[in-house]
A and B are shown apart, each in its own frame.
Chain A
Amino acid sequence: MNKQSTLLSILFVVVVALASCRGGNNTSLSLADGDTLALKYSSLLTIMEHDGYVVADIKNPWKPGKMLHRYYLVPRTSDIKPQTSDLSDGTVIEIPIQRAAVFTTVHCALLTELGLGSHIVGVADSKYIKVPYIQQQIKAGRIVDCGNGLNPIVEKIMDVKPDVIMLSPFENSGGYGKTEEIGIPLIECAEYMETSPLARAEWMRFYGMLFGAGDKADALFHNVDSSYVALKQQAAQAGKGRSVIVDKVVGSVWYMPGGRSTIGQMLQDAGAQYPWATDKQSGSLSLPFETVLERGGESDVWMLRYSSDHDWDYKELLSGHHGYSQLKAVRQHEVYGCNVEQSHFYEDTPFHPDRLLCDFLQILHPDIIGLPPLRYYKKIKE
């Protein structure tokens, strides 16, 4: 007993000594003073509000326990400027951001939806951005295409002088090359690594905050959240949905979303009977056709995503693989296709998972009535 208390007191002294050594105004200590902004779902993002600034920490999704990036959001107009030496362990961003280069389509779509489109000054891969506003602005010369997102034209970025560059981080991509060296802060949009659909959508609150539209983004997220939860409850009340298989063969492999992937979780929320529901992977499984036929061949419905300049019919679908005709869903003509080129699937669904869940519910529970018409998926034509 005695020994224990002695040890504890030594430990206490050491901790106090260490803490005082680093000085009273160090960030790690002052961080503890801030108010954590309650994020409901996100596992990668934490936001803490302090006097005069906000700290946003993004955890490294690939290396547990490590941090990907820390941001200090400092208001432009604030009188209480934190000392820059305190903020050396992160990237300082003056908010609200006035000019941003946005390299991902989803974020272009989100910012436009939040009415922040006028802050976008540069984009990448403009060919693939299906946001009418952005396309108009590019034509009018108000938004500049900075080339390929993975290898942008640095000169063009510097020319449009953005406050920040928003881009998707990739695992082991070897950094961002020259983009990193030009001194413009990079916002690493890592929300795509969140597997829970609502966690992914919740990041819009962070993006809203960056552009001074925190309240608007909070309201939008609240809508998405409540609508998603309501649909989930509706699915639960409707009982077991139809059984389903997802996506299709690419080359020789069927990429099937894992049980813990975003699609896997949404299928579960929609009450689907998914043959890979118990699977523990958060990515996609690469399966040979025969495995899919054996485990999922008798599923009632087949929901696939494809990319084409026109909608497929059965003839076109069946030309992709000789085995498709063996699937029950094909025999019974219960195949739903989402043409990602013609619909706004990739632009919408990361921040509006409720819309996708609504499609799932309608396909998997034909008995639920009163849902809006299908938004992304369409029944494959005869």
Chain B
Amino acid sequence: MIKRGVILCCLLALLMVVLLAVNLAVGSVSIPLRDVVSIVMGNEAARPSWQFIIMESRLPQAITAMLCGGSLAVSGLMLQTAFKNPLAGPSIFGINSGAGVGVALVMLGMGGSLSVGSVSITGFMAVLAAAFAGAMAVMGLIFLFSTMVRNNVMLLIVGIMIGYIANSVVALLNFFATDEGVKSYMVWGMGSFGGVPMSQIPLFASLCILGLVGALLLVKPLNALLLGERYAENLGVNIHRVRNWLIIVTGLLTAITTAYCGPIMFIGLAVPHIAHLLFRQADHRILMPGTILCGAVIALICNAICFLPGESGVIPLNAVTPVMGAPVIIYIIARRN
């Protein structure tokens, strides 16, 4: 069983590399493959704009897609295991909505800039900071409740309620905003892997990798939790400490990805199910790296699909991800019946 899992993981990693190459080669502007290879190898491009497109636009976008896909998928897996709920996902605690409130405040309430004391930031960085602050605020709130509410289901309900409150704040801001503000916010809400500039990739990647390592450190207690909370406790696992760590890790991953890419739907919910189908085992030692790889692969596929219309435009990311995710959920429900 383990051997099969390892082989599958290797295959997925290979597929990920291939898809990474596809994402570099395919885009709205057609650049000959020879030039793409030459640019990636570090040679001068035939046209300076191509150099920028490959190295500063497509490469960071593909890296973002991989990290984001992996992060959201693993968050979904951890939450589904810990809460024994196949419909749990990174957005269930309202962390996405918290990020949404932050962004809405900046885009709709403050005209696109964020000023704290004498420091004022605008544009992408303002949105990023606001989203992160919003997401972390909700995460802090959930963490607080987690120390008070013992019951898992109750904690989920608290999370959903916080999400509703956040959404109503957004609705209110939207109602009183300018057309342009509403449009900016709507486009942000559709998600995109393309917003992270190359200069931000080191920070984004290190934060994501920190979260992913944190997730991998939780493999053992998660495996124990599969046996049921009582058994896990008998095995010496401190259930509440695990739950708190879990909230910190998934919260961090969701906050980072939402801040950089906007709320991305379905990947976190659907990919763990795809991984379950593929690996056919519950051992998180295999399932977790497998889910990370699956997430990266699916995000890369979605990113490539966004560019299908070619020169004439792009499809928003959140219009693509549910098409990949929803059929899987439906399949699982149908099979259970």
Contacts and interface: CB of A to CB of B under 8 A. Distances in A.
A128 B179 CA distance: 10
Interface string A331-374: 00000000011000000000000000000000000000000000
Contacts of A77: none
A294 B29 contact: yes
Interface stretch (A85-93, A155-163, A181-189, A284-292): A284-292
Interface stretch (A109-117, A262-270, A321-329): A321-329
A318 B199 CA distance: 14
A316 interface: yes
B123 A287 contact: no
A171 interface: no
Interface stretch (B210-218, B272-280, B310-318, B321-329): B310-318
Contacts of B113: 308, 316
A308 B112 CA distance: 8
Nearest to B126: A319
Given A290-B29, A322-B198, A326-B52, A252 B187 contact: yes
B124 A320 contact: yes
A136 interface: no
A290 B47 CA distance: 13
A294 B194 contact: no
Contacts of B187: 250-253
B266 interface: no
B194 A252 contact: yes
A320 B112 CA distance: 10
Interface range on chain B: under 10, 10 to 19, 20 to 34, or 35 or more? 35 or more
A128 B178 CA distance: 8
A251 B192 contact: yes
Contacts of A319: 121-126
Interface in B192-217: 192, 194-195, 197-199
Contacts of B28: 287-288, 290-291, 294
B194 A288 contact: yes
Given A253-B187, A308-B111, A293 B53 contact: yes
A171 to B, nearest CB: 16
Contact of B53 (A250, A294, A308): A294
Interface in B286-337: 307, 311-314, 316-317
B188 interface: yes
Nearest to A318: B123
B178 A307 contact: yes
Nearest to B192: A252
A79 interface: no
Given A290-B57, A293-B52, A321-B124, A285 B195 contact: no
Interface string A163-182: 00000000000000000000
A127 B175 CA distance: 12
A307 B181 contact: yes
B49 interface: yes
A124 to B, nearest CB: 13
B184 interface: yes
Interface in B3-29: 27-29
A102 B316 CA distance: 36
A127 B53 CA distance: 41
Contacts of A340: 180
A208 interface: no
Interface in B25-47: 27-29
Interface of chain A: mostly helix, strand, loop or mixed? mixed
Given A294-B29, A294-B49, A323 B121 contact: no
A221 B314 CA distance: 40
A382 interface: no
Nearest to B53: A290
A28 interface: no
A304 B195 CA distance: 20
A7 to B, nearest CB: 49
B273 to A, nearest CB: 28
A319 B129 CA distance: 13
B313 A293 contact: no
B229 interface: no
B198 A288 contact: no
Contacts of A307: 111-112, 178, 180-181
A287 to B, nearest CB: 6
Contacts of B124: 319-322
Contact of A323 (B57, B190, B313, B317): B57
Contacts of B311: 291
Contacts of B190: 251-252
A148 interface: yes
B240 interface: no
A252 B49 contact: no
A285 B309 CA distance: 12
A352 to B, nearest CB: 20
Given A148-B175, A316-B122, A322 B56 contact: yes
Nearest to A252: B192
A288 B187 CA distance: 13
B29 A291 contact: yes
B31 to A, nearest CB: 9
A20 to B, nearest CB: 53
Contacts of A252: 187, 190, 192, 194-195, 314, 316-317
A252 B317 CA distance: 10
A285 B188 contact: no
B84 interface: no
Interface string A120-157: 00000001100000000000000000001000000000
A119 B262 CA distance: 46
Interface centre among A251, A289, A291, A326, by most chain B C-beta atoms within 10 angstroms, is A251
A341 B52 CA distance: 33
B60 to A, nearest CB: 9
A297 interface: yes
Given A294-B28, A320-B122, 4 more contacts: A252-B192, A287-B28, A316-B113, A321-B124
25 contacts: A251-B188, A251-B195, A252-B190, A252-B194, A252-B195, A252-B314, A253-B187, A288-B194, A288-B307, A288-B314, A290-B29, A291-B28, A291-B29, A293-B29, A293-B53, A308-B113, A319-B122, A319-B124, A319-B125, A320-B122, A320-B123, A322-B56, A323-B57, A326-B56, A341-B178
For the complex of A and B, list the 6 residue pairs with the smallest distance between their C-beta atoms, beginning with the closest: A251-B187, A319-B123, A322-B197, A252-B192, A294-B29, A320-B123
